[in-house]
Amino acid sequence: MYHWQVMADSKPAVLQGAAATSFVAAVERVKPHTKLIGLLAFGHLVIDLNQGSIPAVLPFLRNAHSLSYAEAATIVLVGTLTSSLIQPVFGYLSDQIARRWILPASVFLAGAGLALTGIAPGYLAVLGLVLVMGLGVAAWHPEGYKAATGMAGDRKATALSWFSLGGNVGMALGPPVITSLVTGFSLAGTLGMLVPTVIVGGLLLAVLPHIDRAAVPRAATTASARGVNMPGAMALLIFLVAIRSWAQLGFTTFVPFYYVDYLKSDPRLVGPLLFVFLGAGALGTVVAGPLADRWGARPFMRWVFLAAIPFGLVFLETTGVLAFVMLGLYGAVLTSSFSVSIVLGQAYLPRNAGMASGLIVGFAIGAGGLGVTALGWVADRWGLPAALTVSALMPLVGFVTARFLPAPRVAR
């Protein structure tokens, strides 16, 4: 709990420029509800534990159903689009009226969808179950981020980075957990994912009344009264996050195939590989919050994209422990802007915080998922190294795009 106390005692955030300072100043002096934020973080963990399991289970599903790389990438695409592109709809509903019951319901839905993929009778059934899982993920994020923002306190980038840590840890744990279940109990071992789903979903259901009382967005209400929506800036940020998503999903989808099919490594390496990549991303998110609060969200977003590129390229030229290190550094730097982009999105759409979260966590990431199918096409024709090289170079586009992000404005 030490980290939560640090957030409660820390100074107000400063994004970039006087306008951004005014926006953040509106959320001062609101202490975080640390226990409920912690529980929401656990819910986030379970949601993304299921979502993060998909890339690791792909090689097993591909063998079981005789799939091509493009068909395997389509599974990722269906999950990403379903879990992402409809998030703004849930965000819009969240802005109209709080629907806290969505929090436990989405945990149950996501867990059931993933757990049943291992016993699906065919490819279409797998796609349908991944779609169900995606609906649960889509429903969770806008309501979860809005509730967490209402409890976050005075330093939003730092507080939301800790809430986001739950999801990123879930994404990191998903591959080794699902790999252990499938290698230990066959493909039907995916049913083991029902255990954390039932436990955490039940806890969220039990504390719903407390969440309703605590997640009153006092800070968000004040900021909404003063903020000015900037749809053009939001569109640019969405494109930027889509580029980051394309690069990240390219690695999570094709690194397992790269090691198993191209390097002929042990399939049991898939779990540790993705854990290193996604786990380092989770740590990068925590480090990013305080740095962005100090340096400003826009400069931080710009330079992390440029800094990520060398690590991704070096990873493809190395093997052994050094490859793991490069993969971890690429994941840490690339993913570090995750919570920062949410804070910036809420600054660009201060009157629609739920919609902003849905657009960033949902639509933008889903749009980036479209690139995964294109990468599958590249892998089928030019090989897995070519697909991963494209993914490693995508942050260069993000670096250029981030230079045009404007500062948030407040109403006069």
Residue 387's closest CA among 284, 246, 282?
A: 246
Give the span between the Cα atoms of 340 and 354, in whole angstroms.
16
Per DSSP, 304 falls in state H
pLDDT at residue 27 in the model: 38
CATH number at residue 319: 1.20.1250.20
pLDDT in tens, 160-202: 777 778 887 888 788 889 988 998 888 999 999 999 999 999 9
Residues of the chain with confidence (pLDDT) below 50: 1-29, 217-225
Q: What does the pLDDT read at residue 260? A: 85
Q: Tell me if 142 is assigned to some domain.
A: yes
Please report the pLDDT score of residue 184 as a whole number.
87
pLDDT value at position 213? 62
The closest alpha carbon to 347, from 297, 303, 301, 299, belongs to: 297
- In sequence order, what are the beta bridge partners of 410? 227
Could you give the CA distance from residue 189 to residue 341 in angstroms, rounded to a whole number? 36
On whether the CB atoms of residues 119 and 191 are closer than 8 A, the answer is yes
Q: Is residue 5 part of a domain?
A: no
Whether 87 maps to a domain, the answer reads yes
Position 210 scores a pLDDT of 72
Q: What is the dihedral of CA 285, 89, 196, 172, to 10 degrees?
A: -30
Is residue 289 in some structural domain? Answer: yes
E strand segments, 180-330? none
Q: What is the spatial distance between Cα 230 and Cα 84, in angstroms, rounded to a whole number?
A: 22
Q: At what angle do helices 365-382 and 69-84 cross, to 10 degrees?
A: 180
Identify the CA nearest to 383 among candidates 294, 316, 309, 305: 316
Domain count of the fold of the chain: 1
Amino acid at 355: M
Task: List the structure tokens of 259.
Answer: 């090691």
Asked, for residue 346, whether it belongs to a domain, the answer is yes
Neighbours of 231 (CB within 10 A): 9
Q: Is residue 8 part of a domain?
A: no
On the 0-12 / 13-18 / 19+ scale of CB atoms within 10 A, 3 is middle
Q: Are 44 and 361 in contact (CB under 8 A)?
A: no
| 408 found inside a domain | no
pLDDT of residue 21: 36
Residue 3 lies in a domain: no
Structure pTM? 0.67
The single residue listed with the structure tokens 């490594």 is 265
Beta-bridge mates of residue 227: 410
Cβ–Cβ < 8 Å for 240, 402? yes
What tokens does 237 get?
Answer: 């940020």
User: In this predicted structure, what is the pLDDT of residue 215?
Assistant: 57
**Domain limits for position 158:** 13-402
The Cα 212–Cα 206 span in angstroms is: 12
